[in-house]
């Protein structure tokens, strides 16, 4: 089969590792980490890429999204007319690094805004640790800039201070991916974290969700296959997470 794969650049190493082992032909596209901070803009970019015509003489069997809900950035995305759109059932890239919803709930279920690090995340952009922003606290996924525009700077700061207040954790999770580990980058992360007075706590990652997506084997309990013309809708639970909605004619 021939797949078009659209992924966030923080998963570049993992996606490329899986592509090299996939029996299928894969065309890769990546978006930048910073685009997550404005989910509405990311959604627009993703939709444009999903709908972009295939190169001459190429017919895609599916478009694969290596994303989770990601602040509602995938909510409302429509599958192209000619093939399905496939996405893992995941809240965000943390689940993709960990390999399952069970692992996500175990490590982040009680505090989804917990900062964390990984080789792939920390080597991209300016932020070494995952950003804590309004995407976790507003159902429509608006960014801090949008909150300021909507409520004013003083009110926005109050909301940010109140909603993002969480326990002062003594350690920061490091999502370790054995297949793509880079000791030099991991050491930089450790030094950065210890420089803030915290410790780096390693959590074993699992590449299985990404590898399964690129293998073309999509069990319903782990992947959503959106038929041509239908769109993605968020469910916001710990199991289904996303579902396909047929467009009204």
Residue 171 has pLDDT above 80, yes or no: yes
Domain limits for position 119? 2-245
- The pLDDT of residue 136 is 44
Q: Are 75 and 43 in contact (CB under 8 A)?
A: yes
227-238: pLDDT as tens digits:
999 999 988 777
229: Cβ contacts below 8 Å, ≥ 6 apart = 78, 79, 81, 246, 247
Max mean pLDDT among 37-41, 86-90, 145-149, 166-170 falls in 86-90
Residue 216 has pLDDT above 70, yes or no: yes
Compute the distance between CA of residue 75 and CA of residue 146 in angstroms, rounded to an integer: 18
7-28: pLDDT as tens digits:
999 999 999 999 999 999 999 9
3-class secondary-structure state, position 214: helix
pTM, rounded to two decimals: 0.85
Count other Cβ atoms within 10 Å, centred on residue 183.
8
H-helix segments, the chain? 12-19, 39-51, 93-98, 101-108, 119-122, 144-151, 153-163, 183-195, 208-215
- The pLDDT of residue 127 is 82
Compute the distance between CA of residue 6 and CA of residue 174 in angstroms, rounded to an integer: 25
Average pLDDT over residues 98-124: 90
State which H helix or E strand residue 65 sits in: strand 62-66
* Average pLDDT for the chain: 88
40-49: pLDDT as tens digits:
888 999 999 9
Domain count of the fold of the chain: 1
- The pLDDT of residue 131 is 67
116-157: pLDDT as tens digits:
999 999 999 888 888 654 444 444 445 566 667 777 777 777
């Amino acid at each position: 089969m021939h797949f078009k794969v659209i992924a966030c650049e923080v998963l570049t190493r993992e996606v490329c590792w899986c592509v090299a082992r996939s029996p299928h032909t894969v065309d890769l596209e990546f978006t930048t980490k910073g685009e997550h901070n404005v989910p509405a803009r990311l959604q627009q970019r993703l939709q444009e890429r999903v709908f972009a015509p295939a190169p001459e003489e190429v017919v895609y069997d599916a478009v694969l999204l290596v994303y989770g809900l990601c602040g509602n950035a995938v909510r409302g995305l429509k599958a192209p007319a000619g093939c399905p759109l496939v996405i893992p059932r995941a809240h965000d890239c943390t689940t993709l690094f960990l390999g399952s919803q069970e692992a996500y709930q175990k490590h982040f279920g009680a505090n989804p805004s917990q900062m964390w690090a990984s080789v792939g995340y920390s080597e991209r952009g300016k932020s070494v640790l995952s950003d804590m922003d309004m995407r976790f606290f507003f159902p429509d996924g608006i960014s801090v800039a949008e909150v300021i525009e909507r409520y004013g700077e003083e009110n926005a700061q109050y909301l940010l201070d109140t909603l993002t207040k969480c326990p002062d954790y003594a350690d920061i999770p490091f999502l370790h991916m054995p297949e793509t580990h880079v000791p030099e980058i991991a050491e930089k992360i450790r030094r950065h974290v210890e420089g803030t007075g915290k410790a780096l706590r390693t959590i074993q990652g699992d590449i299985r969700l990404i590898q399964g997506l690129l293998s073309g084997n999509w069990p319903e309990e782990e992947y959503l296959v959106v038929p041509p013309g239908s769109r993605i809708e968020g469910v916001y639970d710990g199991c289904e997470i996303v579902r396909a909605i047929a467009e009204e004619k």
